[in-house]
Structure 1
Amino acid sequence: MNIKISSKPSVINEVHWENGLSYNEYRQLIDSLLKINQTTGSNDSEKQLVYTRLNVQRMNKWDKITKLNQELIQVVEKIDTPQKWLMLTEAWCGDAAQNLPAIQKIADLNDKIEVRYLLRDENLDIMDAYLTDGGRSIPKLIILDDEYNEFANWGPRPAPAQNILKDYKSNDDITYDEFSVNLHTWYAKDKGKTLQSEFTVLLAGLS
């Protein structure tokens, strides 16, 4: 699993947190940028815009159909100390679109959990403290206490999805388009079950 449970100071501070967006604000930002043919980050190419529009459709779908399992619900409802969840993301990121709606639904189960969304490319000081195999992979969730000490982090994707990426990187015969189809087909079939299992383990480990 792409989970690390710890208890240590983080590079994140109150300024970062206050600059973060709520989920609704993040979604509204994406919609407002698309209206002027822009996306988050510095690359507004047609390819990035296509990815972003597709991601809006993905998030809309998961917002509507994601159902959390009872085991996870029970674990989240037992959380009795405040947690700050800081998510690094970008609108064009397919993995973010596949995972963020479910993660927000998990957080919404308990009012002791607050979530803020930060754009990766505007917060490289945080991103570079949470690299995956040396890369700036997103989404990346950092769970903090009220003093901005790190409880745990998760990301950038569930373990089976990460394995699909590793297979692509190690096999020259797999094209990027084939990798993308394989990845998003896995998400469609899994329906968030693996993500929920990973978060059950993660959050139970913090109690």
Structure 2
Amino acid sequence: MPTGVHIRNVRAQLFDAAERVLLRAGPSALTSRAVTTEAGCAKGVLHRHFADFDEFLADFVLDRAGRLAPQAAALRESAGTRTVPDNVTDALTALFGSTAVAIIPLITFRDELRAQLRRTWPAGVPVLTEGTEMLASYLAAERELGRVAADADVDTLAPTLIGAAHLLYADRRDAPPETTAVRKVVTTVLAGVTTQSPPEPT
């Protein structure tokens, strides 16, 4: 695409292109040229919107982390329905079936990206931090409903679930883990904490 041609929603197009490159070829293949080629635009387009490539990547990571907000709201609204392990299993499967798994090695791979993120994200790894907050909020809602034990430490359970699920998904070259494997982790972590039986069929 010629440099002078206007692109609508250029940030969104570049972010989507970066995601495709990242998922297809990994963090080492994610360069400004790879992104603009994937997006079908001139390389200068990216640099007109971002100071440098690490600023672009930081905004890309934060954009993907921000996309968890609707999922978090839906999960919290599901409190009181189905079973707690089923809801948590579905949430973790959706989280780690997204770009989250690929973003983690990207942040690890690039020192400058981590430094850029620290300016606006003081601790933790974006996406994983959001996922942890999502689960903690949901478990707190279930605790209020009495389906999670009143003394359950949801702020410890949530990162435990995220960490255990991440180990299942990380560095896999074949298919993602079966849902049954994720659910086994969830039920193990939540053993003795959930207080409700599965709902009766209607």
Common topology (TM > 0.5): no
- 1 or 2, which has the higher strand percentage? 1
- 1 or 2, which has the higher helix percentage? 2
Q: What's the TM-score, normalizing by structure 1?
A: 0.28
For the pair shown, which has the larger CA radius of gyration, 1 or 2? 2
Q: What's the TM-score, normalizing by structure 2?
A: 0.29
